[in-house]
Amino acid sequence: MDDRRKQPRDKVTLGATASKDQKAKECIVRDMSEDGARVQFPLGHRPIKDQMSLTIERDGRPVTADIVWTKGNVVGVSFNDARSDDASDLDERVRKSEEKKRELQIEIQRLLGK
């Protein structure tokens, strides 16, 4: 599969709410970059189509996102709002968290002698 993303995505698990036309659905952001994300909806729920407002619980601010692809209960979105400093700050905190996680995994492997 051809990866056309402009920015690399970091793996995350963030609770979120996707909404459109006054209807909201709980979802989980599984990976994210500055300009997009992979969003998973509960099994049996049809994802929102075309465009949605995505609010990540930790951030609390909605971002308008276009649906780029859909596969079952998972969608790929492209953010079309200019990202605010707060959103960029969240991205930076997620990146640092992922870096720390990788460092800890390496240290665990070293301690286990692997």
Q: What domains are defined for the chain?
A: 10-111 (2.40.10.220)
**pLDDT tens across 56-92, in order?**
888 788 899 999 999 999 999 999 865 555 556 667 7
- What's the pLDDT at 58? 83
Do the beta carbons of residue 12 and residue 31 sit within 8 Å?
Answer: yes
C-alpha distance from residue 11 to each of 20, 54, 100, 113 (Å) = 25, 17, 13, 26
pLDDT band of residue 5 (cuts 50, 70, 90) is low
The mean pLDDT of 27-55, rounded to a whole number, is 88
